[in-house]
Amino acid sequence: MLKNKRGLQIGAFIGLSSATVCCVVLVIMLLVQEKTRRAGIATLSLTFNISDKFDIPDLHLKQRGIPGPFKSLIGVATAEGASLVATATAEGANLIETATAVGASLIADAASAANSAETAIEVLLPRNLSLGISQFCVGFINHSKCTNLPLNISNVLPEANSQFSEDVQNFVSSQFQTLEEITAKVTFAIFKGPLFSGIVLLIVLAATIIFCLFYKRSVTGNLAKVGISLLAVLCCVPFAIPMAILSYVGSRIQESGPILSTDKGDAGNLSIGAFNQGPSIAS
């Protein structure tokens, strides 16, 4: 009988130790892994549909010196070309061919300028956005840039935005407004503090149960049951905070910004796994 009881105590000790170590490993993976820190919440593929916005006033790149909406350039050039054709007709049939060629050249040049300007804007706009538990990263065609949370898109787009007119800058910033509001309170501290506190409480819970098993010889008394249950509930609270935040942000992301697709990260699953360790130890 005593031998069987000793075996149960050893089994309980191994189970408690395993659950505690598992929780610590999950928290370390959540807080330390670079992938989780930079893309643990989600990676968003972005689309801006800039070509649909070409008719807004003064939509052009400052450095190119293009004096107005891109699409209006084609209209102006077409009008100039047609005017040259009409003038040539009035002055002499021999000028029609030359005027037509010049008008067509103006139209082609304007269309080329519009396409080039559109391509230049698309190159400077971000292609994807990764949200982690401590940083967010914006990916462009040939590089990416990361900065600490909370999300503020202007922190990583100043170089690109400086080459756009004010209308384009406002358009790009407006696309991230909802996402910035959702993640306004998300910082590394709100994950690190509760998770570290949760580990401490989890170790205390495991140590309490082990003490009762090996020294008090019983955890079946009502007082012991109540105490362990309360400690288990208290232990779950710190892990519930980051889990709830990650769940909220993950569910709201699809409502925000120029998002083409979403690839959720590992932070949510890791936080759920850490949260489950408290009840598993108490049980």
CATH of the domain at 133: 1.20.140
Q: Determine the number of helices (DSSP H) and then strands (DSSP E) in the chain.
A: 11, 5
Instruction: Evaluate if pTM is beyond 0.85.
Output: no
Q: Which domain-ending residue is among 80, 101, 124?
A: 124
Cβ atoms 195, 267 nearer than 8 A: no
Identify whether residues 196 and 266 lie together within a single domain.
Answer: yes
* C-alpha count within 13 angstroms, C-beta hemisphere, residue 82: 6
Identify whether residues 14 and 151 lie together within a single domain.
Answer: yes
Per DSSP, 140 falls in state: -
Instruction: Give the domain range for residue 257.
Output: 2-48+129-282
Identify whether residues 69 and 133 lie together within a single domain.
Answer: no
Residue with tokens 């959540």: 30
pLDDT for 57: 41
Identify whether residues 256 and 179 lie together within a single domain.
Answer: yes
Identify whether residues 109 and 232 lie together within a single domain.
Answer: no
* C-alpha count within 13 angstroms, C-beta hemisphere, residue 187: 6
pLDDT for 194: 92
* Phi, psi for residue 18 in degrees, rounded to 5: -65, -45
Considering only CA atoms, give the Rg of the chain. Answer: 31
Residue 145 in tokens: 């840039």
Query: Structural domain tally of the chain?
Result: 2
- Ordered mean pLDDT values, 10 residues apiece, the chain (283 residues): 62 77 89 90 78 46 42 52 59 56 55 52 75 88 83 66 65 77 85 91 83 64 72 86 89 71 86 79 62
Closest CA to 160 of 114, 171, 151: 171
pLDDT for 98: 59
Closest CA to 281 of 171, 203, 180: 203
Q: Which domain-ending residue is among 100, 124, 148?
A: 124
Identify whether residues 144 and 278 lie together within a single domain.
Answer: yes
